[in-house]
Amino acid sequence: MTKAALLVLSLTACARPPQQEPSVVPGVPVTFDMGRGADTVVFRRSITRAGQDTSAGTRTVVLQVVPGPNRVALLEVEQRFPGGGGTIVDTAIAELHTLRAVAHRSHQPTRTMRFDFTATDAVGVVTTAFPDSTPRVDTVRQSLGGRIFDSNVLDLVIAALPLRPEFTTDLPFFIYERGGRVPMPVAVRERATIDFPVVGPRAAWVVSVGVPGAPATIWVDTETRAVLRTRYDITARSLSFTDDRITPLHDPG
């Protein structure tokens, strides 16, 4: 082979894009559209107990693309919302093109959590604060049994699925309190036009997710794939909390 041919092959190899990572669940692709720069979305939260709605502040979600190892683009999702008598700040890191969980950081009024996700395990540290005593530090290693999604970005994962009538699948999500890997059934219940409080009437996929102890319903805009509403029903406490999007939509075109 000539030197010229070797040079062409070398340049072609260098020009190839980074190899696409495999889907978390084979045969179930996700499509996440992230524009340039950071994006901030605000949801208004309400709690329903005994048929009475109570305002519970807002959930603010900041999304941005950050560089990762081996030229793999990563999605950073920081969320701030009320909880535990203060403000909870959760930061999830995922592969941009697959939403596979890479890392998670949670800062709560009485607890902090740090996890890194390998191909097989969640490895991290959980620090719990107690009044008038030394904080407890627990080293954690939980088996994942393969690639996984972070439950803290569950609504984004659902919105990125190939939603269609009668769509169903099972997805693995990470929940530390339940031992790591938690399979959840996902199903499109219907496509309906709903008048949302701020964004107005929109056609949406209504999707149910079998979160243990807190089944979720997620409304996804059929045109933009934005999450319009998320509701969790906490069965053991006979209450639900709902997040309604209050950030205006950016329609395609």
pLDDT digits (tens, 9 = 90+) for 82-99: 988 899 999 999 999 999
At 10-56, the pLDDT tens digits run: 333 333 344 567 899 999 999 987 766 789 999 999 999 988 889 98
Model pLDDT, residue 6: 37
* Band of pLDDT at residue 127, cut at 50, 70 and 90: very high
For the segment 139-162, the average pLDDT, to the nearest whole number, is 96
CA-based nearest residue to 104, from 89, 87, 119: 89
Alpha carbon distance 44, 4 (integer Å): 62
Q: How confident is the prediction for the chain on average, in pLDDT?
A: 89
Model pLDDT, residue 131: 85
At 52-70, the pLDDT tens digits run: 889 989 999 999 999 998 8
Model pLDDT, residue 5: 40
**pLDDT-wise least confident of 49-53, 144-148, 164-168, 201-205:** 49-53
Spatial contact of 174 and 125, defined as CB atoms under 8 Å apart = no
Q: Is the dihedral of CA 32, 35, 37, 39 positive or negative?
A: negative
Model pLDDT, residue 15: 37
Structure tokens at 39: 């994006």
Place of tokens 């080293």: 139
Model pLDDT, residue 84: 80
Model pLDDT, residue 22: 84
Model pLDDT, residue 253: 53
Number of other CB atoms surrounding residue 78 within 10 Å: 17
DSSP-based three-state secondary structure for 222: coil
Terminal CA-CA length for the chain: 50
Residue type, 77: V
Number of other CB atoms surrounding residue 24 within 10 Å: 22
Tell me how long the chain is: 253
For the segment 185-192, the average pLDDT, to the nearest whole number, is 98
Model pLDDT, residue 4: 41
Alpha carbon distance 146, 25 (integer Å): 9
Model pLDDT, residue 252: 58
Model pLDDT, residue 237: 84
